[in-house]
Amino acid sequence: MGRIMAVDYGQKRCGIAVTDPLRIIANNLTTVPSKDAVSFICDYVKKEHVDVIVVGEPKDMHNNPSDSTRFIEPFLNQLRKALPSVEIKRFDERFTSRMAFQSMIDAGLSKKQRRNKALVDTISATLILQSFMEYESAKNRNK
């Protein structure tokens, strides 16, 4: 069983998170410029066994794709082409940036630290991954 990776894709940078090898814990990994995301992910997958990559899918309040979805499509296509043996899934990312910001406040980070958008992106990716893991666990329990 390989790791699960989550990507919070943005126009400028991507937050990336991964599970431990047993898929128990979601950990933030890094933030990379969006233009380098596919090559970074490919390099990581070569070093670490990753079975699934979950990409956050922005949706509006009515569960429709948001305006940002159009930026994710080319990224998904590049990822699928570069890693045909890895399962690529989309997962709802609504409110993850707000939740990331709130978790930074709850953790007592200073205002200056909370302005670090790269940190917000990695926390968002971790929240996407944690939500995906909880969703999959609940789905498997209900079988």
Note the pLDDT tens digit of each residue in 10-69.
899 999 999 999 999 999 999 999 999 999 999 999 999 999 999 998 776 777 776 677
Residue 128: the pLDDT is 92
Alpha helices in the chain, H assignment, sequence order = 37-47, 69-82, 96-106, 111-114, 117-141
**Residue 89 to residues 25, 45, 108, 112, Cα–Cα distance (Å):** 19, 16, 33, 34
Cβ neighbours of residue 81 under 8 Å, at least 6 residues apart?
none
Domains and CATH numbers, the chain: 3-141 (3.30.420.140)
Residue 74: both structure tokens together: 């080319």
Pair type for strands 50-57 and 87-92: parallel
Is pLDDT at 126 greater than 80 in this prediction? yes
- Predicted TM-score (pTM) of the model is 0.88
Closest C-alpha among 56, 82, 77, 79 to residue 68: 56
- Among 43-52, 86-95, 100-109, name the one with the lowest average pLDDT: 100-109
Q: Are strands 26-33 and 50-57 parallel, antiparallel or unpaired?
A: unpaired
The first and second tokens of residue 36, run together, are: 């380098």
Over pLDDT 90: what percentage of the chain? 55
Give the model's pLDDT for residue 3: 97
CA distance 66 to 135: 22
Say which residue, 7 or 137, is predicted with more confidence: 7
